[in-house]
Amino acid sequence: MENFIIKMSSKMKVQTLAGVVALLSMPVLYIGGISESVILEVLGFLMLAFAMLTTPTMKLLMKKSQ
């Protein structure tokens, strides 16, 4: 397992991290909405936005570098 993670490209590592962040943002958004905590709602939204914008940003940067 360790060899697989080490051999992953940096693009795959970032996309995997973004997927994990997207999964973790859902409970934060839910708890923020249930408890009416604005801070948790904003934190969850920012986490989700980061995760969803990672791949398009990477594609845009790759096009500019070529």
Distance CA 46, CA 52 (A): 10
> What integer pLDDT is reported at residue 59 of this predicted model?
81
CA trace torsion 39, 45, 51, 54 (10° rounding): -100
pLDDT by 10s per residue, the chain, length 66:
556 566 777 788 888 889 999 999 999 999 999 998 999 999 999 999 999 998 888 888 877 776
> What integer pLDDT is reported at residue 10 of this predicted model?
78
Domain boundary assignment for the chain = 11-55
Q: What's the whole-model pTM score?
A: 0.75
